[in-house]
Amino acid sequence: MVKLIGRIKPKKVTIALILLWTSFISFVLEVIIVSLFVPPSHFKLAISKTTETIIQLTGWIFMIVFFIFLIFLILMISKGKNWARITYLILFILSIPYNILQSLSVLLEVPYLIIVSVLYFATSIIGLGLLFTKQSNNWFN
């Protein structure tokens, strides 16, 4: 157990944080793989090259802001902020349909992406599960 501002961080929370960081890294890796190996023509958009570039840049800016927000949430979870673990859980639940559809749609283009997707889902689910055990709940409250 790790001591944190007069409270002792349960081992389950420590393990959950390791899993959330692993999940975050696999998510970043998944985004990079899709952007590098899946051509924009895969998404069958009838747009000009300039518009395509603008969409890609906007997407990257959004993803970088989202990555920073996820880092912030994981850091707040590690400080025992209950709102952060709930926000992270809600974001994960909301992302499930998108992540499944994206993984399935690019599976033929990048078959090994399924490994990264499974790693992301497994570490997220187990990590979030550990954050909501009785021992963890007591520490967050």
Determine the longest span between alpha carbons in the chain, in angstroms.
58
For residues 71 and 77, what is the distance between their CA atoms, to the nearest angstrom?
10
- Specify the pLDDT at position 79: 94
pLDDT at residue 47, as a whole number: 67
> Considering the entire predicted model, what is its pTM?
0.84
Below-70 pLDDT ranges, the chain: 1-6, 39-47
pLDDT at residue 109 in the model? 75
Q: How many structural domains comprise the chain? A: 1
According to DSSP, residue 34 is labeled: H
Q: Give the model's pLDDT for residue 45.
A: 62
Tell me the residue range of the domain where 113 lies. 2-140
